[in-house]
Amino acid sequence: MVKSNRVWGPLICVIAVVLLSRSNRPWVEFGPPQQVVSVNPKIGVHTRLTDEVEPWKVQRTWEMVREMGASWAVEYFLWAAHEPARGVYDWAHADLVVDHATNQGVKVIARLGYVPEWARPPKSSPLLLTEEHYVDFARFVAEFARHFRGRVQQIVIWNEPNLSQEWGYRPVDPAAYTAMLCKAYAAAKATNPDVQILAGALAPTLAPPGSEWGLNDLDYLQGMYDAGAKACFDVLAVHAYGWTFAPDAPASPDAVNFNRVELVREIMVRNGDGDKHISITEGGWNDHPRWTKAVRPAQRAAYTVRAYQKVLAEWPWVDALSIWAFRYPRPARTYQDNYTFVDGEFQPKPIYLAVQNYAAGREEVLP
Amino acid sequence: MRRPRFLRKGSVQEDRAETPVAGRFSQHTRRVALGLSLAGLLIVMAAGLATRAVLADRDPTWEHIRQSGTWRVGMDPSFPPFENLDGATGQPVGLDVDLANAIASRWGVRAEIVGVGFDELLDAVTAYRVDSAISALPVVEHRTREVAFSAPYVEAGILLVALRENAIAKPEDLAGRRLASEWGSAGDAQARALQRELGGNLTLVLRESPDLALQAVLDGGADAAAVDAVSLALFAAGKDRLITIGEPLQSEPYVIVVPAHAPKLLAAINATLADLAADGTLAAIQARWLEDGATR
């Protein structure tokens, strides 16, 4: 028996090492499945795990998202990373991200975009998708929907196409975006009829028609409906930034504030699409001390909690409010750092604790 | 010919063993060739080093400044008292504007202030749209391949502040006491970190602004405050009763940004900053914009 242990012990170790080294995924302990406990099931955040390479940090991110009380998270999946060559798919990192989110009980809303080099002209912007490659993107969306069936229920098609920068530095074109959307919608539904396709994710902007920077979200959305978008999405993705305005500041076509979502909703209703819901896939406030569109940190926390309360109590047509952004892998050293809930070392900012207190139903929210 | 296994390739033994006579001739030739090769290599290396030294010494940005008589300085004029637009003239004013003018004056050139958004400033330097950026900018560690950073000209980090008469000499002396900060600010983060270091034996006093945190110290509502240096400098009421304790809890020096390949410009900026500090000009500029009753 002793002799047997001497043989089998090292052998088992060797087999374990070999198996682990052969694994496609970095190994971390998943732990038992968790559930989000929150008084508000619409609380969400936009995570930034695209360039987070360390598995334990991916896991820690989702743990902290859950512990904050967020049930939803938007995450960006780069087409270029997951289809590096036409028809060649690499889901290793995406699997890591989605599986850890699922294990923590967080529902992932997958934002897809970022064109691989093989699908665009040389030295062009990775946000440039020309019409002849719509079919390539649609096929990628379909493959994503197929691969993540049962794990990812919602897919956002592109991001802020009403900004020239996000449309490959071209004049924006709601009809062209709609054509791409409809191809992606049909392809995704063919491989996974259960998946929900989210359209738009339009940037709240006041840019007038003809602006070199883009087109305001309200005119752009109407342009999408005019081009037949109604049949090509299940939920409308909306971005809702508050800038310096409180969350209850009234909506106005000439103001960017949180309630601008109501104007978007009116356009949907006007176009006979009032039965569809909205998911706010980006939004929130910034507390950088020098940015002119920022507020003080205490205001940011109070506004954020109020916004979560508002979507729960007053906007039954909103499924989730995913606020930008949970954490960056490293500091940007710009105002962008002042959108986050935790720092790069996973230290929670007070706003994180405030949302956590709210989600836990505590009376005192600001810690 | 197959080489015996015990002979190393290229060894003297190998030559002797295989072709004794030809081997001696070959050995001489090889020595000459080796000598020539080494000499050639040394010449190439020396030429490379010389070229590198010449290239390293070249600084097109600095040459352009000297030739044009203009130093293009990127700045986002939205952060008083460092830079903002004067209400009456519409021109940029502030500490950074004065600093740019003072440096340019020492060089005998003119500072041209170019408006650039805060988040685009480093890109503007990298793209040579401006020669430098002065805009209350911190060191951005992950950009050091593209830009270089000067010596600091202002420390804007988080300071520990207490009443003069308070017996606090170092952060650890705050154990069992109360520390004020602006809720959610960088000072708050430092206060919470200190609270963890002290095993929770520190009461946080959270206020809605740095001024209110400092006021709490003056009013006896807190034993100390963790606030940024600029807020402290601009705090008017009762500042003479306050002192800073030790080194900054978190250092945040403001620096001037230049292209990565502008060694002469960087050296000139650093030398001039040292001169301005030595003769009191820098202190005078800081006093004008950051001291109590400053012109702003």
pLDDT (tens digit per residue) in B252-287: 999 999 999 999 999 999 999 999 999 999 999 999
Taking the Cβ of residue B107 and every Cβ of chain A, the question of whether any pair is shorter than 8 Å is answered with no
> What DSSP state is assigned to residue A349?
P
pLDDT: which is higher, B121 or B15: B121
* pLDDT of A110: 98
3-state secondary structure (DSSP) of residue A149: coil
pLDDT: which is higher, B116 or B134: B134
- State whether B22 and B165 are in the same domain: no
Q: Which of A286, A328, A334, A341 is the best residue to mutate to test the B interface, defined by the most B CB atoms within 10 Å of its own CB? A: A334
Note whether residue B4 is domain-resident.
Answer: no
**Which pTM does this prediction carry?**
0.80
Q: Residue B188 is nearest to which of A291, A343, A350, comparing CB atoms?
A: A350
Q: What is the DSSP string of chain B?
A: -PPPTTSPTT-HHHHHHH-HHHHHHHHHHHHHHHHHHHHHHHHHHHHHHHHHHHHHH--HHHHHHHHHSEEEEEE--EETTTEEE-TTT--EESHHHHHHHHHHHHHTSEEEEEE--GGGHHHHHHTTSSSEEEEEEPP-GGGTTTEEE---SEE-SEEEEEETTS---SGGGGTTSEEEEETTSHHHHHHHHHHHHTTT-SEEEEESSHHHHHHHHHHTS-SEEEEEHHHHHH--TTGGGEEE-SS-SB--EEEEEEETT-HHHHHHHHHHHHHHHHTTHHHHHHHHHHSTT---
Domain that residue B209 falls in = 158-244
Chain B residues 7-36 with CB within 8 Å of chain A: none
Taking the Cβ of residue B83 and every Cβ of chain A, the question of whether any pair is shorter than 8 Å is answered with no
Note whether residue B72 is domain-resident.
Answer: yes
3-state secondary structure (DSSP) of residue B87: coil
- State whether B100 and B163 are in the same domain: no
Taking the Cβ of residue A333 and every Cβ of chain B, the question of whether any pair is shorter than 8 Å is answered with yes
Q: Which residue of B has its CA nearest to A292?
A: B78
Name residue, tokens 């001169």. B275
Q: Identify the H or E element spanning B59.
A: none
- State whether B146 and B261 are in the same domain: yes
Confidence of residue B176 (pLDDT cuts 50, 70, 90): very high
Q: Residue B213 maps to which CATH number? A: 3.40.190.10
Q: Residue B118 is nearest to which of A298, A335, A349, comparing CB atoms?
A: A335
- Is the pLDDT at B41 greater than 90, yes or no? no
* pLDDT of A332: 85
Confidence of residue B239 (pLDDT cuts 50, 70, 90): confident
- State whether B133 and B258 are in the same domain: yes
* pLDDT of A1: 42
pLDDT by residue, tens only, chain A of 367 residues: 444 556 566 666 566 555 555 545 456 889 999 999 999 999 999 999 999 999 999 999 999 999 999 999 999 999 999 999 999 999 999 999 999 999 999 999 999 999 999 999 998 999 999 999 999 999 999 999 999 999 999 999 999 999 998 999 899 999 999 999 999 999 999 999 999 999 999 999 999 999 988 999 999 999 999 999 999 999 999 999 999 999 999 999 999 999 999 999 999 999 999 999 999 999 999 999 878 889 999 999 999 999 999 999 999 999 999 999 999 998 888 889 999 999 999 999 999 999 999 999 998 887 7
Note whether residue B118 is domain-resident.
Answer: yes
Confidence of residue B42 (pLDDT cuts 50, 70, 90): low
* pLDDT of B45: 64
Contact residues on chain B for A342, CB-CB shorter than 8 A:
none
- State whether B281 and B148 are in the same domain: yes
Taking the Cβ of residue A213 and every Cβ of chain B, the question of whether any pair is shorter than 8 Å is answered with no
ipTM score of the complex? 0.71
Instruction: Tell me whether residues B138 and A333 touch, CB distance under 8 A.
Output: yes
Tokens at A20, concatenated: 């682990």
Residue B148: beta bridge partners?
Answer: B258
Total domain count, chain B: 3
* pLDDT of B80: 86
For residues B34-41, give the mean pLDDT: 63
Tokens at A204, concatenated: 């709240």
- State whether B129 and B79 are in the same domain: yes
Q: Are strands A196-202 and A235-241 parallel, antiparallel or unpaired?
A: parallel
- Count Cβ–Cβ pairs < 8 Å, chain A vs chain B: 49
Note whether residue B3 is domain-resident.
Answer: no
- Is the pLDDT at B99 greater than 60, yes or no? yes
CB A112 within 8 A of CB A158: yes
Instruction: Tell me whether residues A297 and B183 touch, CB distance under 8 A.
Output: yes
B71 phi, psi to nearest 5 deg: -110, 110
Domains, chain A: 39-359 (3.20.20.80)
- State whether B128 and B64 are in the same domain: yes
Tokens at B199, concatenated: 């095993």
Confidence of residue B12 (pLDDT cuts 50, 70, 90): very low
For residues B44-71, give the mean pLDDT: 77
- State whether B236 and B172 are in the same domain: yes
Contact residues on chain A for B192, CB-CB shorter than 8 A:
347, 350
- State whether B73 and B212 are in the same domain: no
Contact residues on chain A for B78, CB-CB shorter than 8 A:
290, 292
B162 phi, psi to nearest 5 deg: -145, 170
Taking the Cβ of residue A345 and every Cβ of chain B, the question of whether any pair is shorter than 8 Å is answered with no
pLDDT digits (tens, 9 = 90+) for B209-230: 999 999 999 999 999 999 999 9
> What length is written for chain B?
296
- State whether B148 and B180 are in the same domain: no
* pLDDT of A222: 98
- State whether B216 and B168 are in the same domain: yes
CB B183 within 8 A of CB A350: yes
Sign of CA dihedral B216, B218, B222, B224: positive
Note whether residue B20 is domain-resident.
Answer: yes
pLDDT digits (tens, 9 = 90+) for A253-280: 999 999 999 999 999 999 999 999 999 9
CA-CA distance, A227 to A230, in Å (whole number)? 9
